[in-house]
Structure 1
Amino acid sequence: MKKSTLALVVSTLALASTANAAEVYNKDGNKLDFYGRVKAEHYFSDNASSDGDKSYVRIGFKGQTQINDLMTGYGQWEYQYNANNSEGSDANAGNKTRLGFAGLKFGQYGSFDYGRNYGVLYDVEAWTDVFPEFGGDGTARTDNFMTARATGVATYRNSNFFGLVDGLRFALQYQGKNDATSANARGSITDTSRQNGDGYGASLGYTIADTGISLMSAITSSDRTNQQQLQALGSGDKAESWGAGIKYDANSIYLASIYTETRNMTPIGTRGFANKAQNFEVVAQYQFDFGLRPSLGYIQTKGKDIEGIGDEDLVKYIDVGMTYYFNKNMSTFVDYKINQLDDNNKLNLNNDDVVAVGLTYQF
């Protein structure tokens, strides 16, 4: 059956939030796109911290400039304003810079950028971070070494192995130290779970032509800060991770599965880190021609050899949801997080279900 234009558009939007950016300027080799979304959403849960209004506004820009025949400069910035706060409470509203980096691209020789960007382990984890609302909370944690969005990362990427192998791509990354004594414009990082020492990472992926199948792998290693090594949970002077994933994305079907492991990296509240964490995630989605996209997923992250506890699940839930795209700019969704953590889990983690409903406008 021939796909409708709507089906093609929303399939892209479902996996790329900036796909519908508005072009602000495009002249003489200079281009600037502005994008954003308004997400009006509400959580329903017996757990007070997971219940209530979760609305936010997110805006950003992506720009590039043609320097010469070989070299192109580019930059991106993205910010989020939480809309569930009263007027005058912005100082403690949790508003945040999500991304902010600049770089140079050298044709088939790759690109290099620096700033606040995604860590290379997220090259794997992004494939299952596509639930209508939840997901991306197994071993992918913001400002947790190089597992998700991170500060001070220098990244080299090459999308086709110097023009020699179509579909073969790799990345190399370095992250500078961010701890309680770091000298940066916003001050030191006192939240121990968000600190990191110097670290390195790499990813390698391959897309098999004309099949819809892609493979991805990544590995990282970072120094742990002095404060992290003094915490009750977690030991060793290195935080390490690796992961691998496979996905199928064709014929209106999206299937993805990943496995990741971390050592002394996945945080357990304010008490420290799991000595080892094993994470498995899987998701299946289908895009109907008339705009409906149902989604089914599962995430389980198990902490291993936790001091005084042993092995215990850190994250475990089934996710059932769906998104309906009215058009390329407007959609609505419902997402049901069916928590599978034990009622008497040894870490006293929240095991209540959560239902999210919302309406999204994006451009």
Structure 2
Amino acid sequence: MMRKTLVILISALVATSAANAAEIYNKDANKLDLYGKMVGLNYISSNAAEHGDKSYARLGFKGETKISNQLSGFGQWEYNIKTNTPEASGNTSATRLAFAGLKFADFGTFDYGRNYGVLYDVEAFTDLTPEFGGDSWSRSDNFMTGRANNLATFRTHNFFGGVEGLNFALQYQGKNEEKKVVSANGDGWGVSSVYDMGHDVSLAAAYAKSNRTITQTADKNGNNADAWTAGIRYDNSKLYLAAMLSETRNMTHYGEDKFADKTQNIELVAQYLFVGGVAEGLRPSISYLQSTGKGLNNFRNADNTEVSKHALVKYVEIGTSYAFNKNMYTYIDYKINLLKKDEFTAANKINTDDVLGLGLVYQF
């Protein structure tokens, strides 16, 4: 997934250059663009929960308005619709992004709403495989690791115009007291920086810390959750290499409602684009992801031996995508699961089977 200037946008880097959004209004310094995609997707796996139709559609609007020579406004809304369920079923759609903001000339931008957490600024380096990937520790509605509610974000590019290539973000997240303990969070803050060093190399780092809710602190593991992450990438338009390291404390959940005391995570990605034309290309991909959890709620096997350390995520991804043009691409992605089925994975319903994903996408 690619990140652009004002906000982090999801696009089709996995297959081709991002298709231009359809401009539906542009008058009197007001502009509105429509974008979206329709995805026919099927998973093949021995695990019943991971097998079958996973198709969906996605639709979004991006708007801009000029207020003065130094001030402009912007907003974005993005909606995801599952298409693999009967019409009468519920919970088939959800809002992915919904925020509004102001841009102050070259000083920076400020926005508020449902957006990406600053920890994802680093995770985005490795979250660009055709289907699987980017999930060793990053999840939606999990503090500031992915998309989340109640985020106020300030971003500046080229560090207030003083340092070329140095981007900086500061973020505050208000309390979200959700019914599901794994989707809740207390007040928190985060900071990130991405530096384009030139010669196709970029570095990134981020840190975030949040209060835990009363329900979350019932596990006696402390009142705070925090994480740090660092990444590096090389991108010369054809060859893409990236690595991400992170560590979380009381932040990464597993099973139905448990949080690991600590996780140590690594993601490695390599891709190469074989260009077949202006908007065409074959892009093979390979990646490795691992998340190791420590302090796992005093879990014990049947023989009473304690499991204080266990891999929560561990797999190799091998895939490829092919873009017919800027609007149409297809992909195949194979997740080789390296987790072994044992008492811990069985008790916490962690998938240990391989998954093959087959997708066909139309985007605009």
Relative to the length of structure 1, the TM-score reads 0.91
Q: Quick one: distance in 2 between partners of 1:345 and 1:108?
A: 55
2-structure distance, mates of 1:58, 1:251: 26
Deviation at 1:25, TM superposition (A): 1.5
Structure 2 counterpart of 1:190, from 157, 160, 179: 179
Deviation at 1:19, TM superposition (A): 4.6
- Counterpart amino acid of 1:51? H
- The answer as to 2:343 corresponding to 1:353 is no
Matched, 1:283 2:269: yes
**Quick one: distance in 2 between partners of 1:107 and 1:246?**
29
Instruction: Map 1:197-346; keep pairs closer than 5 Å.
Output: 197-209=186-198, 211-231=199-219, 235-290=221-276, 291-308=281-298, 309-344=307-342, 346=344
**Distance in 2 separating the partners of 1:254 and 1:137:** 19
1:345, distance to aligned residue in structure 2 (A): 5.4
- Counterpart selection for 1:146 from 144, 147, 152: 144
Alpha-carbon deviation of 1:14? Answer: 3.3
Cα distance between partner residues in 2 of 1:18 and 1:101? 22
The CA distance in 1 between the partners of 2:57 and 2:288, in whole Å, is: 28
Aligned to 1:182: none
Match of 2:173 in 1: 175
CA distance in 1, matches of 2:16, 2:34: 14
Distance 1:205 1:251 in 2: 18
Map Cα deviations across residues 150-201 of structure 1 (whole Å, 9 max, x no partner): 000000000111111110010000000011xxxxxxxxx2000000000000
- Give the whole-Å Cα distance in 2 for the aligned partners of 1:146 and 1:93: 23
Unaligned 5+ segments in structure 1 are: 1-10, 180-188
C-alpha displacement at 1:16, in angstroms? Answer: 8.9
Structure 1 contact 85–93 (Cα < 8 Å) conserved: no
Measured after TM superposition, the shift of residue 271 of structure 1 is 3.6
Which AA in structure 2 matches 1:169?
N
Length-normalised TM-score, structure 2 = 0.90
Shift of 1:284: 0.5
- Could you tell me the percent identity over the aligned residues? 54
Give the distance between the partners of 1:271 and 1:217, measured in 2 at CA. 28
Structure 2 distance, partners of 1:248, 1:19, is 23
Aligned to 2:20: 20
Cα RMSD (Å): 1.5
Secondary structure of residue in 1 paired with 2:216: helix
Q: Is the 8 A contact 2:203 2:232 kept in 1?
A: yes
Structure-1 residue corresponding to 2:53 = 53
Q: 1:104 to 1:218 in 2, by over 3 A?
A: same
Per-residue CA deviations over 1:202-240 (Å, capped at 9, x if unaligned) read 00110012x110000000000000001114xx7110000
Measured in 2, the distance between the counterparts of 1:224 and 1:16 equals 40
Query: Paired residue for 1:6?
Result: none
1:158 aligns with 2:156: yes
Do the aligned partners of 1:157 and 1:170 also contact (CA within 8 Å) in 2?
yes
Residue deviations 1:132-165, cap 9 Å, x none? 0011211101000000000000000001111111
Paired amino acid for 2:360: L
Runs of 4+ in 1 over 3 A off after TM superposition: 11-19
Q: 1:16 to 1:261 in 2, by over 3 A?
A: farther
Q: Is the 8 A contact 1:13 1:328 kept in 2?
A: no
| 2: CA distance, partners of 1:118 / 1:15 | 22
